[in-house]
Chain A
Amino acid sequence: KAGVTQTPRYLIKTRGQQVTLSCSPISGHRSVSWYQQTPGQGLQFLFEYFSETQRNKGNFPGRFSGRQFSNSRSEMNVSTLELGDSALYLCASRPGETDSYEQYFGPGTRLTVT
């Protein structure tokens, strides 16, 4: 099976702009979660989508949003970018019908905000 894919892999944006990141989960997986990783804060959970519905959310401002499509692909949007949003954004997929901790992560999108 193909793994989790994320596009783009690298992105440079300017403060105030918005950005959309894409994640394609492993075939058959219905759950997609998003994480932000920075050297200072480590890996932080953003939100989880399952069958096109957000069912779990971390402690991030409303500028961070997401959605999931009927084919389980997911997008994450960050509006009004701030310098502190520079990070590695990771998505992870799992079947989702159970609550196992076994997730499969993509390679991430490296976002740099200038």
Chain B
Amino acid sequence: LAKTTQPISMDSYEGQEVNITCSHNNIATNDYITWYQQFPSQGPRFIIQGYKTKVTNEVASLFIPADRKSSTLSLPRVSLSDTAVYYCLVGVTNQGGKLIFGQGTELSVKP
């Protein structure tokens, strides 16, 4: 699996848009990019997955440039409840159940 690098922590305020960037310089041609969210003492929650360009769902957007060496998770108008750790995963889908999580980004949303 490709190695990922994310900021250790980020701070934001309620109502702001938050962008978390993940670097994955050695991403392979078949690799997908997936983001998970985790609250303390809970299991991670799938947020979004993409391969190239832009993907949007009801909670987030994922921006992937043409070279795919990085990706940006965008959370619109965050609230206090978005305070959590966010993980970027990069790897081929045929890894099956074997997810390898990096250290993640601890997002703190303040009032």
Interface set of A (CB-CB < 8 Å, partner B): 4, 31-33, 35, 42-43, 45, 48, 50, 55-56, 58, 88, 90, 92, 94, 96, 98-108, 110
Contacts and interface: CB of A to CB of B under 8 A. Distances in A.
A58 to B, nearest CB: 7
Contact of A105 (B43, B93, B95): B43
8 closest cross-chain pairs (CB), A and B: A105-B43, A48-B97, A33-B97, A43-B101, A99-B93, A101-B34, A90-B43, A99-B94
- The A interface, classified by DSSP as helix, strand, loop or mixed, is strand
A69 B39 CA distance: 30
A103 B91 CA distance: 14
Interface stretch (B9-17, B44-52, B62-70): B44-52
A45 B100 contact: yes
A49 to B, nearest CB: 8
